[in-house]
Amino acid sequence: MNGATLALKTAAAAGVEICFANPGTTEMEFVSALDETTEIRSVLCLFEGVVTGAADGYGRIAEKPALTLMHLGPGFANGIANLHNARRANSPIVNLIGDHASWHLEADAPLTSDIDSLAAPVSAFLHRVESANTIGPAMAKAIAAANGSPQKIATLILPQEAAWETTNSEEPSPVPIAEAPDTATSIEDAARRLHDHKEGMGLLIGGTLSAASLHAAASIAEKTGCRIWMETFPSRVAQGRGLPAFEAIPYFPEQATEALSGISTMVTAGASAPVAFFGYPGGQSYLLPENCEVLSACGTARNPEIGLQELARALKAPAKTPARIEPMTAVPDGPIDAVSLGAVIASQQPENAILVNEAATSGMGLAIHARQAPQHDMIHLTGGAIGQGLPSAVGAALAAPERPVLAIQADGSGMYTLQSLWTMARENLNVTVVLCANRAYRILQFELARSGNQTPGPAAQGLMDLSRPDLDWVMLAKGMGVPAATARTTGELSQLLRERYQEQSDGPFLIEALIA
């Protein structure tokens, strides 16, 4: 058995089921080994930003790691941006980066580069494998790290001789099961504080937010009177009719500090103390009031479900809060804008969908109307590195083939990793893409005005404008094998979504929604 095969057998034995890949010459042994390890499904992506974004989406839904397989420094570099998002989401991922045989590095061949320097910023665990005889244990350690608390990104750099050499042992290395961190004390502290104080108490939840977490949080609020906030971009949150919903911390710092004024103690669960997305002149980094105390309740886990439930029990909070059912907003036929888009989506989305939200400014209505929609999970852009939505939809669909995936995608961000559409077609994934074509980097138009430039000249306008020429997303989708249609009005968008979900057809579909 060669090192590549033993590495994959070790991963398979630990329950790894999928490998998103764009291999090259230095990964040929892994390509062959994938045929010998049929427990692991291999999925070709036509760009590494799709590879890593898919692994992120998979990790957020499956809550266990996918493998990625990428080619040397440059191939890996293409995947860094979506690993940045995955790092912020604490998604579990195990990256396999092929490198030249170690004796070949000195020659500084054309593809040689400092992979360690490239990988370090996005890898909580980073290890360069020494030989075929250590590749099994290295894989086991990487998987254990990815499954730790919090879950994280583990990266193995694999000199090619470690893949092609014969191993001493053919036995997969066992992967130790991560111990849950002991949070008894912190939960006790948080419970005491929430119980004793009535005013200025806040609870900030984030990370991976299940329905059970939201119910626990709501019951804590009902019992203690604390205010609950959700982080601006949780990695995954359950939403919809009958689920408690909490205000997210506003995106712009001046709105956030105003909203959070008066909080004197903030208990956090699955989230960190909130900071501004950007620093503006004269602005501030930290959003909580200056003397606000921050108390972490659930330790390092990014899924605070167990911690919140224990906190609720410690407070003797009611097991369940009454469900709040909001009536669906009627959507009159008319132009598609940032608000009406959300209303249409809420009214047409199927039960138990996974919504991937990289709609940027076009998605404002999603937050407004989500609580009217059938229950679903929403995935957010956690790290601000655009191009995450379409790849995450690929990964989410492969993690939960029984659930419909609905990707609400801004056009500017969508162009970053549009190669995702091809993988959706090849793998026949149940993904519906609503491509929000406002033909601008709209958020930058806002930000330019915020920077003091109210009258952009032709250069500035040209850098924020996606027209001249307009992108035709129906052609782009069809060019990659994904059927597609255009919606010009809310009525057309509703109709296309209704047909899509009545047909129950296999495979992906893209709707280009022209934003007014």
Site residues (CB under 8 A) for a second copy, limited to 40-69: 42, 44, 46-47, 49
- Contact region with a second copy (CB under 8 A), list: 134-142, 348-356, 401-409, 461-469: 461-469
**Of 1, 294, 364, 443, which lies in the binding site for a second copy, with binding defined by CB under 8 A?**
443
Report d(CA 301, CA 382) in Å as an integer.
16
The burial of 121, by beta-carbon neighbours within 10 Å (0-12 exposed, 13-18 middle, 19 or more buried), is given as exposed
- Least distance from C-beta 390 to a second copy, angstroms? 13
Nearest to 208 by CA among 150, 265, 251: 150
Q: Which DSSP letter does residue 105 get?
A: G
- Identify each DSSP E strand in 263-329 by its residue range: 265-269, 293-296
Residue 168 or 467: the one with the smaller Cβ distance to a second copy is 467
Q: Does 28 bind a second copy (CB under 8 A)?
A: yes
Q: Does 466 bind a second copy (CB under 8 A)?
A: yes
Q: Does 103 bind a second copy (CB under 8 A)?
A: yes
Q: Does 236 bind a second copy (CB under 8 A)?
A: no
290: phi then psi, degrees, rounded to nearest 5: -55, -45
Residue 24 or 318: the one with the smaller Cβ distance to a second copy is 24
Report d(CA 3, CA 17) in Å as an integer.
19
* Contacts to a second copy from residues 264-283, by CB under 8 A: 275-281
- Least distance from C-beta 231 to a second copy, angstroms? 10
Q: Which DSSP letter does residue 114 get?
A: -
Residue 37 or 340: the one with the smaller Cβ distance to a second copy is 37
* Contacts to a second copy from residues 307-366, by CB under 8 A: none
**Of 460, 491, 495, 501, which lies in the binding site for a second copy, with binding defined by CB under 8 A?**
460
- Contact region with a second copy (CB under 8 A), list: 146-154, 169-177, 303-311, 447-455: 447-455
Q: Does 84 bind a second copy (CB under 8 A)?
A: yes
Q: Does 485 bind a second copy (CB under 8 A)?
A: no
CA atoms within 13 A on the CB side of 27: 22
**Of 425, 429, 434, 493, which lies in the binding site for a second copy, with binding defined by CB under 8 A?**
425
* Contacts to a second copy from residues 186-225, by CB under 8 A: none
The burial of 462, by beta-carbon neighbours within 10 Å (0-12 exposed, 13-18 middle, 19 or more buried), is given as exposed
* Contacts to a second copy from residues 119-148, by CB under 8 A: 120-122
Span between the terminal Cα atoms of the chain, in Å? 60
CA triplet 476, 479, 482: central angle to 5 degrees? 85
- Least distance from C-beta 74 to a second copy, angstroms? 3
- Least distance from C-beta 221 to a second copy, angstroms? 26
Q: Does 78 bind a second copy (CB under 8 A)?
A: yes
Angle between helices 3-13 and 132-146 (to 10 degrees): 30
Report d(CA 328, CA 223) in Å as an integer.
29
Residue 259 or 474: the one with the smaller Cβ distance to a second copy is 474
Q: Which DSSP letter does residue 268 get?
A: E
**281: cis peptide before it, omega within 30°?**
no
**Of 60, 88, 215, 500, which lies in the binding site for a second copy, with binding defined by CB under 8 A?**
88
Angle between helices 72-89 and 48-62 (to 10 degrees): 30
Mention every residue, 6+ apart, whose C-beta is less than 8 A from residue 183. Answer: 297, 298, 299, 301, 307, 310
Residue 109 or 325: the one with the smaller Cβ distance to a second copy is 109
The burial of 358, by beta-carbon neighbours within 10 Å (0-12 exposed, 13-18 middle, 19 or more buried), is given as buried
Q: Does 374 bind a second copy (CB under 8 A)?
A: no
Residue 25 or 505: the one with the smaller Cβ distance to a second copy is 25
- Contact region with a second copy (CB under 8 A), list: 9-17, 57-65, 133-141, 470-478: 470-478
- Least distance from C-beta 403 to a second copy, angstroms? 23
